[in-house]
Structure 1
Amino acid sequence: MSQLDDRLIELGIIIPSVAKPVAAYVPAVIVGNLVYTSGQLPSVEGKLAFTGKVGAEVDADTAKDLARTCVLNGLAAAKNVLGSLDRITRVVKVVGFVASDPSFTGQPGVINGASELLGDIFGDAGVHARSAVGVAVLPLDAPVEIEFLFEFA
């Protein structure tokens, strides 16, 4: 087992199978020494865990947990193209989209769910640049969608 595998076990994390695309794209691509993921929805076993707008049908704490699910799906996409998550040397960028009720302004707190988990998993290599954007609607009425940029060796 690798050090990363040990860390995932310690955190009680299981990386799922890569999610099947819902349209005409691939889950991740490699360019140079970077892995770009497509937007990852909070799907569990092929189904969205929740639907709706954050601040209306979905509360901020639930949305923060959903952002963590997006991380697991993003790592699954990266693992699919890299063969092993041990090859990731840095989380470069996280771009989070939050389907928001017009009165909801807590997008950064929601995306913190992803940022905090990446820090827990990768330590200093998990510290990244980030955007947290409120949007009117996301695919399949998902509350959260996140894309990732990973550096690898």
Structure 2
Amino acid sequence: MSEPYEKLAELGLKLPEVVPPVAAYVPALRSGNHVYVSGQLPMADGKLLATGKVGAEISAEQAKELAARCALNGLAALEWLVGLDKVVRIVKVVGFVASAPGFTGQPGVINGASELFGAVFGEAGKHARSAVGVGELPLGSPVEVELIAEVRD
């Protein structure tokens, strides 16, 4: 077993099935040495884990956990396309937070995803990042996370 799989096991996590697209796109696409993972929602067993705005119906701590689930779903898409053992590094993460008026804690919410990537890939999990507050997300999701990973052949 290679390191990312061992790290997931140590964390007590199992890769889920790839979340099927909810529109006209693919879960992940490789171009050269990069894999672009489409925005991932906090889905489990085909269901959205929560709906609502962060800072209103959803707490920042709950949203951080949901962002980690988005990241786990992103790892599942990477596994599906190339395998986690081919990941050289996580290059960029973009997180979207459906925010109630006045909520400004988007970076802390998206730390849920960033911390998971760091735990799984160590130094190679450190990445550039944007955390953006938005009015609405697909299906009423509180968070969405997309990523770009560098991979080897």
The two structures have a TM-score, normalised by structure 1, of 0.98
User: Partners of 1:7 and 1:115 in 2: how far apart?
Assistant: 15
Name the amino acid aligned to 1:150: A
Question: What is the CA RMSD across the aligned residues, in angstroms?
Answer: 0.6
User: Partners of 1:145 and 1:4 in 2: how far apart?
Assistant: 22
The two structures have a TM-score, normalised by structure 2, of 0.98
User: Partners of 1:25 and 1:5 in 2: how far apart?
Assistant: 27
Identify the residue that residue 20 of structure 2 maps to in structure 1. Answer: 20
- SS at 2:40 equivalent: coil
Identify the residue that residue 101 of structure 1 maps to in structure 2. Answer: 100
Question: What is the CA-CA distance between 1:5 and the residue it aligns to?
Answer: 1.6
- SS at 1:115 equivalent: helix
Question: What is the CA-CA distance between 1:70 and the residue it aligns to?
Answer: 0.4
Aligned length: 152
Question: What is the CA-CA distance between 1:3 and the residue it aligns to?
Answer: 2.1
In the TM superposition, structure 1's runs of 4+ consecutive aligned residues that sit over 4 Å from their partners are none
* Equivalent residues in 2 for 1:15-94, closer than 5 Å: 15-82=15-82, 84-94=83-93
Q: Does 1:115 align with 2:94?
A: no
Gap runs ≥5 in structure 2: none
- SS at 2:39 equivalent: coil
- SS at 1:38 equivalent: strand
Question: What is the CA-CA distance between 1:4 and the residue it aligns to?
Answer: 2.0
Gap runs ≥5 in structure 1: none
